Structure 1
Amino acid sequence: MAGITRRAVLALAAGVALLCAGLAPAGAQAPALNIFAAASMKTALDAIAAAWTAKGEPAPAIVYGSSATLAKQIEQGAPADVFISADLKWMDYLDAARLLKPGTRRSILGNELVLIEPADHNVALKIEKGFDLAGAAGPGGKIAVCTIASCPGGVYAKEALTSLGVFDKVEPKLAQADNIRAALTLVARGEAPFGIVYATDAKSEPKVRVVGVFPAATHSPIVYPAAVIEGSKNPEAANFIAFLSSQAATKILVDQGFSILAK
């Protein structure tokens, strides 16, 4: 009986030592990553996630939405490991709140802002100072954007339209969606004759065509930063951000139309 008791005590002691040392059983993997990403990343990031999983990592759980909405959710305690924003503002917002892990923030991607229409339309409209976008939309016609007050794509759109001197005429016709992919869908379904989205969104949807590209000088630079969230306990979070600059991920991103800002 004493022998059994001694073995039990030794086994318990070994288990406690293992826990105290913070060691996982042999062969154990880190839990799946929780990634919060701008909706415009969906097509490319889904493919990157598949490549990440193909190399033996657990499939990440990805939440897509407006960068503004995601940043607010993270601020309120949503369990994110990685955040990828479609602009600097909302990453700065979390940085100021000390919700980013120091040293992990990187500006990784760039994009372009484009005017789109349904693929079966063919409106001749040149994007220039004073162009008549409101008139081209026609009576009752809407121009799909994401929320101009907070969604990065909508903010860029307002800046561009203001710079070109047409925002006041266009504003009453704006159909503001929660995120940029929702704006894309309105045009793809023919529910809006025009939309303003990223070039990468337009490339992902065969039911729309690009009318023109807004000159880069008409809006703030479109920059996508990524960072690890301060509360993350997942050791693979920083590795995933590094993976975004891998050869496999870079090919996916470039093919989708993103420009690469960091290696």
Structure 2
Amino acid sequence: MIRIASRFLLSLSLLCAALSPCQAQDKGPLVLAAASLQESLTDAANAWATKKHPRPVISFAGSSALARQIGAGAPADIFISADEPWMDDVANKGLIRPGTRISFLANKLVLVAPANSGARIAIKPGFPLARALGNGRLAMADPDAVPAGKYGKAALTQLGVWPSVEGKVARAENVRAALTLVERGEAPFGIVYATDAMASKGVRVIGTFPANSHPPITYPIALLKSATSTDAEPFRRFLISREGKAIFARYGFTAK
């Protein structure tokens, strides 16, 4: 009986090795996510793994870079963008599963300075940011492509400040890279998400940009058509659940 059982288990193992569905069950989903989700999404992935699921693999970068990778055929299961336009870009190419897109988080935009800076400046129409910068640079994610930079440019434009600081912008590849420039003192000011500032001990918040000075900061999530992990859709549902949103709330995000 032992020999028969052993042969049965061996046959079952070989069958699972040969069939992609069995392989998919053992593989955690590959998630491409906006850089600003680094701590919160990592925590959510750890929580998911404690529920006896394979731990998701997460790649963080600027939403623009991730959307381009998906468009170029990069295999992934889930995409989480820091704005709607880059999710639109992926959707318009027919690369997301119908019915799986939902905006589930919101954020705020803040002006930060190094933690040891004594700078004070009130964010209002025409505020003297260029003068405060002096010969320094304003750290921002690329305002022509990356969501955090686009939101920042929109806010500064609405407040009538953009023309005076455009030539002083230090363009970073994503919002975390912009944050690092301020943390290191390489830029006297930076524009990042409130959650990024909350995650860093190296910066302090100078002020929060008015919500009406820029488009709403929302995070859409969707399952990609290239998804192969059978755990991808359950993990997506976990992230948008009350339990999942509570994890993000601990890191300063607002649930939608």
TM-score, normalisation: structure 1: 0.88
Report whether the alignment pairs 1:227 with 2:214: no
Task: Tell me the residue number matched to 2:76.
Answer: 80
Mapped pair 1:65 → 2:61: yes
Matches within 5 A, 1:160-199: 160-199=155-194
The equivalent of 1:32 in structure 2 is 28
Correspondences of 1:183-262 after superposition (within 5 Å):
183-261=178-256
2:99 to 100, 103, 121: 103
Aligned to 1:6: none
Distance 1:23 1:165, change over 3 A: closer
For 2:21 and 2:226, the matched residues in 1 are separated by 20
Q: CA deviation at 1:122?
A: 2.2
* Coordinate RMSD, CA, aligned: 2.0
Offset of residue 23 of structure 1: 6.6
Gaps in structure 2 of 5+ consecutive residues: 1-7
Q: Distance in 2 between matches of 1:23 and 1:258?
A: 35
Equivalent in the alignment of 1:56: 52
Under a length normalisation based on structure 2, what TM-score does the superposition of the two structures give? 0.90
Partners of 1:83 and 1:227 within 8 A in 2: yes
1:42 matches 2:50: no
Q: Structure 1 136/246 Cα, relative in aligned 2: closer, same or farther at 3 Å?
A: same
Contact conserved, 2:108 with 2:193, CA < 8 A, in 1?
yes
- CA deviation digits over 1:48-72, x for unaligned, max 9? 1111111111121111111000000
Q: Which has the larger radius of gyration?
A: 1
Number of aligned residues = 244
Query: What's the CA shift string for 1:200-228, capped at 9, x where partnerless?
Result: 00000011000000001000010100000
Asked if structure 2 preserves the Cα contact closer than 8 Å seen for 1:51 and 1:248, the reply is no
**Residue by residue, what CA displacement relative to the aligned partner does 1:6-64 show, whole Å, maximum 9, x if unpaired?**
xxxxx9xx98xx68997749xx9331211000000001011111111111111211111
